[in-house]
Chain A
Amino acid sequence: MKYLTEFRNGEIARTLAREIAQITTRQWKIMEVCGGQTHSIIKNGIDQMLPSGPGASIEMIHGPGCPVCVTPLELIDKALAIAAQPGVIFCSFGDMLRVPGTDSDLFQVKGRGGDVRVVYSPLDAVDLAVKNPGKQVVFFGVGFETTAPANAMSVHLAKRRGLRNFSVLVSHVLVPPAIAAILQSPGNQVQAFLAAGHVCSVMGYWQYPPLAEKFGVPIVVTGFEPLDLLEGIRRAVLQLEAGRHEVENAYSRVVTFDGNQAAQKLLGDVFEVTDRAWRGIGVIPNSGWRLNAEYRDFDAEERFHITGIHTQESALCRAGDVLRGAIKPAQCAAFGKECTPRHPLGATMVSSEGACAAYYNYGRFLSAEELAGAGSALSGAAHG
């Protein structure tokens, strides 16, 4: 299959992994920013293919790039309150339905009679608004720069069509401010970044050279398939070993320096930069987008005036330590015990892209011996 199986070739992957092992002479910590990359690394076992010797090793640190995980509790409670109102059709991407608010989630709102629908595109929500003039249609517009153009387009279309019954609950977050925030945080251990390929497909990578320069870190624009990830890691290690800190594009079949200009123009027309709270981290200045004055009418927060939300997050889990790379998910005492995808204690356990959920779902709680047993048992079978 074109552009799919070629980038999952196990033999080429092992060759790349060998090359990475050969060029690695020290201990390096590299962060993949995007939750989709975390998912792919764990699912495919990329981290198990990297050198892990005492003197020369590569440790992947899983960044805060899961939009579901970082959406603030307060906004989820607002979404639940809006979705529960009669006369509202509340549309969301599938991931958000199971994310717990203070005492409910969208699945439960739906179970109690709320009209909650999973859509694949915000434009589907616009169509729903056209077809249901008697209802208020609200789209839950979360995500990084990747999902923003379609969300912007939905609002743009709604305005052009004069739709009075469409609005968006916006919580867009931005990657470059998050990278800067991580690099400035006390005790930062990240020495190089894999930039999120799909964010860069929209935004290009013209925002990254100042970051690489200011903080002296290599940044490699990287894709999501196993070979993409290994190539991104390889290029990051080459830079680290040579003492370089440049911005490279290892995902050139998708990403250009300038990015998608039409999308950026639309984003500029619809959104403006704002401070944004990241769940559990707190406010990162200038780290999000909101609808600008011209489109403020389509902001669900303005339209519904939800008040009286008091959120309280407990401090039981150690997601912050996971994000800083101080611990791996399985090293948290609650991991797999009090905290599972069924009963998540922390946002990183909620979404399939959250680091803790990825570790749990792919069995990183098993001992190495147990998994090795599976491997040796397999080698003699399954030749069908």
Chain B
Amino acid sequence: MADSAKLVAPHSEMATPDFSNWSCPLPLADYPTIVMGHGGGGKLGSELVEHLFLPAFRNPALENLGDAAVLETAGARLALSTDSFVVQPLFFPGGSIGELAVNGTVNDLAVSGAEPKFLSASFILEEGFSLAQLAAIVDAMARSAATAGVQIVTGDTKVVERGHGDGCYITTAGVGVLRAGIQVGPHRVQPGDVIIVSGTIGDHGMAIMSVREGLEFESPIRSDCAALNGMIAEVLDAAGLAVHAMRDPTRGGLASTLNEIAQSSNVGIAINEASVPVRHEVQSACELLGLDPVYVANEGKAVFFVTPEAADRVLSILRAHPLGKDAARIGHATAEHKRILVARTTMGANRVIPTMIGEQLPRIC
């Protein structure tokens, strides 16, 4: 221990600190500028919507704050949704910004109970961005649109000076036709509803994080990016009105989606931690980086709130579909602990899973 002796002081030299006077930093005022957390899918983002966008734009279609707006006009029932994509890296295991841009909007329409039909695509490109990469992105968009059965019917291109963009940003908007005889939304969620997730969670977020942090696994973590409208249509065909609500748990992950539904439906949500499907490599990567998979983004998963009677049927339909083979029943809505998401741990204790404030931050140790 000779080498370490100088790292340690003799105990006798220690004085007595005063623990009774532990004092506190002053609270911060609200952030006066935009911080990254405003885009993290947590409380900061919701506050922006609630206190800035909603009061300014207020109208009945917006106030639902769903994944897509439901519009009834000229005898048609339409859903309209838009999403921007700023992912880095642009290409990652399992996909690229191109697949995300199409599937993200397709899924937002699908979980609103609509059949996605038409998309717009706007590109903000940085001076110097490789045309070959842009071609690869556009090709991915075309293939994804064909797979999802939607057409990209309008678009726009802007170029910004070098240093003013991150290569390529894409915004898509989509229109879908609401299916007849289907009503989904947080307002229909009832205590007793069974919650089903269509597969493993956290795949997309950890695929991105692994590339960014240079983590290598025996089998690389692949993004789950996929269009869910086909699978969702099968569920709706079979279960119809027994499906009360659907969401795609993207940014902010499963926990943020369930918290949002608990709050907008005024129910409690109870889930069983052990039944939430998580891939081993995703769990390992999360442990390494100090993250919780329930907060990690998905791009090809849906969460369903269905009546108890329909649960088994929905589960078997999902499991028969290639995108839903790992589907699992993870919990239920309850009249207890309203607006709060509670998980039963493997130890048998209960813990609250709160809404994140901003982004999930990796811990020091």
Contact = CB atoms under 8 A, between A and B. Distances in A.
Interface of A: 1, 4, 8-10, 13-14, 36, 42-46, 48-49, 67-68, 73, 93-98, 100-105, 107-108, 110-112, 118, 120, 142-144, 146-147, 176-177, 180-182, 184-186, 198, 203, 206-207, 210-211, 214, 226, 258, 261, 264-265, 267-268, 271-273, 278-287, 289, 312-324, 338-339, 341-347, 350-353, 360-363, 366, 370-371, 373-375, 377-378, 381-384
Nearest to B365: A146
A315 B14 contact: no
Contacts of A322: 22
B24 interface: yes
Given A45-B349, A107-B36, A315-B24, A324 B363 contact: no
B23 A314 contact: yes
Contacts of B289: 120
The 10 A-B pairs at the shortest CB distance, nearest first, are namely A45-B349, A363-B352, A320-B22, A384-B329, A286-B9, A382-B272, A373-B336, A280-B22, A94-B361, A94-B362
Contacts of A147: 364-365
Interface stretch (B66-74, B136-144, B217-225, B280-288): B280-288
A377 B332 contact: yes
B27 interface: yes
A101 B16 CA distance: 26
B6 A374 contact: no
Interface of B: 1, 3-4, 6-9, 11, 13-28, 31-37, 43, 194, 196, 213, 268, 270-272, 275, 280, 283-284, 287, 289-290, 315, 328-332, 334, 336-337, 340, 342, 344-352, 354, 357-358, 361-365
A210 B11 contact: yes
Which among B271, B272, B290, B361 has the greatest number of chain A C-beta atoms within 10 A? B361
Contacts of B14: 177, 180-181, 184, 284-287
A94 B289 CA distance: 10
Nearest to B327: A384
B98 to A, nearest CB: 27
A4 B284 contact: yes
Nearest to B349: A45
Contacts of B354: 360-361, 363
Nearest to B291: A94
Given A105-B28, A370-B337, A353 B283 contact: no
Nearest to B354: A361
A282 B19 CA distance: 8
Given A285-B9, A374-B268, A100 B28 contact: yes
